[in-house]
Structures are given as structure tokens and as C-alpha cells.
Amino acid sequence: MENKNETPLKKVCLICAKGSIEDVYATLVMGNGAVMEGIETKIFFTFFGLDAITKKQMHKLHTATVGNPAMRMPGGLPFPSILGMLPGVEAGVSAMMKKQMEALDMPPVDEFLDMITAGGGEIYACKLAVEMFKLKKEDFNENVKDIITIGDFYGMCGGENTQIIFT
Amino acid sequence: MATKTIAGVTLDVSGEGYLNDPAQWTKEIASEIAKEEGIELTEKHFELIEWIRNKVESGEALTIRGIGKSGVVDIKGFYQLFPGAPLKKATKISGVPKPASCI
């Protein structure tokens, strides 16, 4: 089952461009997983991904109940779109998802960012998106190291056995 | 499934060097495994090792978040005690199975 990897990953660079719970948590779990394996990790948040590092938004992340073909009712039946449009359903489903994650000891976003930086991971915000959404450094969680351009980020992603992952 | 002799005792180990039987663990074995990982064990290390062994014995899942909340170390401290891949190293040295969690 275990195979000795002759060329283990040395660096993982993650780019998070979406702001739904599943996309943000995918990035955070992958980022923390890399940090926990001793892999140098850098995460770049852009566009709606900025919600994950913005103080005002990071606790209000939702998952889509409309137009999400993978959404199902608990029990497995298909989720009717008309139900997903009703007021409160999106918030309710998102809250249920968060509860499930908490039960698995997945932390809320701000604690997750603490964990990633505690292990040496670095968190960045995309300068272009920051300007587009008219945000400032103060709007971000304290774990955000800097606001940089994609060119700067690519500059950090060099080196052998580096992988760039887009979520 | 393999055997390995650590600190003069022949032990059952997994392919990656984790003890198959946590009951065979002793502090000397821990120090030997730690040396292989390049770590010199201190009081703090052993405090955390004891916490880890208790948690595994009580059947609870080990997560790095749990360790941060253990009261023994915070997560930054954990990375300092077991640099690189802390959860993997700490469990190996503690003589418990490799953790199968993503967090």
C-alpha cells in the first residue's frame, strides 16, 4: 500500500479562486495537509476566494443550493432546485455542512488559517482582486502575509518538485 | 509486517516503521526511534507522547487540531518539537499506529 517516493513533493502552491465552503475548505485541507507533511506551502486567494480571508466574510461561507448538480437531500434523494431558491435554505444547508465538518474536527476558517501558518505555511491575497473588491490589508485575517500579484506568486513557486494546484 | 530491533528489543513494525503493538513501547524505544528521526527527546516531548498514547488508548481519533487543544502544546510548539511532519513523527515515536486523518 505504501510506496517509497523517490522524488517527494518539496513545495505546494495552492490557488483558491472560489468562495463556496467546499472550494475554500478543499484549499485549506490540502494546504494544511501539505504543511503537516513538512512540505513548503503557499496559498494564494483570489476573486471570491478572498472571502475566505476577509474578516467580515470568512464565517459566512455558503454552499450553493441552486445550480449545484451535486447537491442532494440527506438520504440521497435529489435536491429540487425550487427548494434551493427558498429564503433560508442556502443558509440552512450551509450550516448543516459546517456542523458535519465540526464533528470531524475540521476547524472554522480562521482557526484553520492559524493552523496552516503555525506550521510554516504562507497565505497571500491577490492584488488585482483586492483592488477589484476595494479591500485593504486591515480587512484581512492576520495570517495573510501580503497582497501580491500573480507574477510575484509564480516567482515563489519555482524549484524542483513543486506543484501548483488550482481550486 | 516486519520486525525491527530497537534498543535491544525485537519489535513488530509496519512497513513504515510504526509499532504494530503499542503495548511493546518503552521510553528507550521512543528515544531510539526519535534519534532515527533526528530528534532529541525532552520532558516536553514525553509529556506530549503520554498525551498521544492516552488519546489513542481511549480510542479517540488523533488530529493536529486536537493536539493544539491538548493543553500540553499549541500547534506552533508541536511543529517545533517534531519538525517537518509532526503528526507522523510523533505517532511513530509514541509507538501508536500511523494516524489516518486528513486534519
Measure in Å the smallest separation between the Cα of B102 and chain A Cα atoms.
6
pLDDT > 90? residue A74: no
The answer to whether the Cβ–Cβ distance between B79 and A104 falls below 8 Å is: no
Q: In the CATH scheme, what is the code of domain A9-59+111-167?
A: 3.40.1260.10
Question: Looking up cell 465538518, which residue turns up?
Answer: A101
Question: Looking up cell 434523494, which residue turns up?
Answer: A77
Q: pLDDT by residue (tens digit) across B13-49?
A: 888 889 988 888 999 999 999 999 999 999 999 999 9
Q: pLDDT by residue (tens digit) across A12-30?
A: 999 999 999 999 999 999 9
Round to the nearest angstrom and report the end-to-end CA distance of chain B.
Answer: 26
Q: Which residues pair with A45 in a beta bridge?
A: A16, A125
Q: How is residue A153 annotated by DSSP?
A: H
Mean pLDDT of all residues in chain A? 94
- State how far the Cα of A25 lies from the Cα of B64, in Å rounded to an integer: 16
Q: Which segments of chain A belong to CATH 3.40.1260.10?
A: 9-59+111-167
Q: Which residues pair with A11 in a beta bridge?
A: A40, A162
The answer to whether the Cβ–Cβ distance between B74 and A118 falls below 8 Å is: yes
